[in-house]
């Protein structure tokens, strides 16, 4: 069942998603070599609660923390711990909140200090792939148009698309229909209608697309141990131009000030 949102519901979703963007910026402010990922997680939880919301991922299907923190070859769903960030790492932070009965969901991959040129380029092109996918979330296009636009861009760059993990609908539930793959064929899949709210989240590998689940039961890792990047926006399908509910504005302010 696909739930189309009213304008009133969309504004509540916007509040939740803006809070996610602000939370990611607070976390980004603290990302540097020597920081424990668990400290970043505690920062996010406190900030979310201080803003009259609750962490959307904490205890979701048993997940133990507020943030998914995935480092280097970890694609998504990494569990915060006493692991320390190192110079040259990249770290993907995925955050969800629940506020006024609606979820927000967004992700951003940060460099830790100076990173290698090929890794920096992976971050740049994955974020660009998200922007390209988002522009295809307009009425009368199809789900396959979003995935195909992302896949075409990153494969032209020599990267690969993770197939096992996909984007999703979002609203009163964190994961709703439809699934939103980051690959696909133009003109295929459900037709997009105004009021559909979806999370688009390319997970792109520097090497091959093959992944496996770590022994912790959560973390997804590249089989060739090459880095992976992850960016995510929550958006509303509109008639002519997509409405992006989440934001990287606060994150960019923090990164530009470092």
Closest CA to 172 of 1, 3, 59, 22: 3
Q: Is residue 16, in this structure, part of any structural domain at all? A: yes
Angle at 30 between CA 24 and CA 35, to 5 degrees: 120
Does the pTM surpass 0.95? The reply is: yes
Q: Is residue 196, in this structure, part of any structural domain at all? A: yes
Q: State which residues form the domain around 251.
A: 7-257
Question: What is the separation, in whole angstroms, between the first and last Cα of the chain?
Answer: 45
Query: How far is it, in rounded angstroms, from Cα 156 to Cα 164?
Result: 20
The CATH number covering residue 181 comes to 3.90.230.10
Q: Is residue 1, in this structure, part of any structural domain at all? A: no
Query: How far is it, in rounded angstroms, from Cα 126 to Cα 64?
Result: 27
CA dihedral (132, 221, 23, 192) positive or negative: positive
- Specify the number of domains making up the chain: 1
243-255: b (≥16 Cβ within 10 Å) or e: bbbbbbebbeebb
Confidence (pLDDT) at 258: 81
CA dihedral (59, 94, 70, 215) positive or negative: positive
Confidence (pLDDT) at 104: 98
Q: Is residue 223, in this structure, part of any structural domain at all? A: yes
pLDDT tens digit string along 15-26? 999 999 999 999
Closest CA to 69 of 84, 79, 55: 79
Q: Is residue 152, in this structure, part of any structural domain at all? A: yes
Confidence (pLDDT) at 246: 98
Confidence (pLDDT) at 143: 98
Q: Is residue 43, in this structure, part of any structural domain at all? A: yes
Q: Is residue 2, in this structure, part of any structural domain at all? A: no
Q: Is residue 110, in this structure, part of any structural domain at all? A: yes
Confidence (pLDDT) at 219: 98
Low-confidence ranges of the chain (pLDDT < 50): none
Query: How far is it, in rounded angstroms, from Cα 58 to Cα 72?
Result: 23
Confidence (pLDDT) at 141: 97
């Amino acid at each position: 069942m696909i739930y189309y949102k009213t304008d009133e519901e969309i504004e509540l979703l916007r509040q939740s998603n803006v809070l996610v963007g602000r939370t990611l910026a607070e976390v980004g402010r603290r990302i540097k070599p020597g920081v424990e990922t668990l400290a970043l997680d505690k920062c996010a939880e406190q900030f979310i609660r201080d803003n009259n919301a609750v962490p959307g991922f904490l205890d979701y299907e048993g997940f133990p923390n507020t943030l998914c923190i995935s480092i280097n070859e970890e694609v998504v769903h990494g569990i915060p711990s006493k692991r320390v960030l190192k110079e040259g790492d990249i770290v993907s932070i995925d955050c969800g909140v629940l506020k006024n009965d609606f979820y927000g969901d967004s992700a951003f991959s940060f460099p830790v200090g100076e990173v290698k040129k090929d890794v920096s380029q992976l971050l740049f092109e994955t974020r660009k792939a998200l922007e390209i996918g988002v522009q295809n979330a307009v009425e009368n296009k199809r789900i396959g148009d979003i995935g195909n636009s992302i896949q075409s861009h990153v494969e032209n760059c020599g990267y690969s698309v993770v197939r096992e993990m996909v984007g999703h609908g979002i609203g009163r539930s964190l994961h709703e229909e439809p699934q939103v793959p980051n690959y696909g064929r133009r003109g295929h899949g459900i037709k997009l209608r105004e009021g559909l709210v979806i999370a688009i989240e390319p997970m792109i590998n520097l090497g091959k697309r093959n992944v496996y689940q770590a022994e912790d039961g959560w973390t997804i890792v590249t089989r060739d141990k090459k880095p992976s990047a992850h960016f995510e926006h929550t958006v509303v399908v509109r008639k002519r131009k997509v409405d992006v509910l989440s934001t990287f504005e606060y994150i960019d302010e923090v990164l530009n000030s470092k």
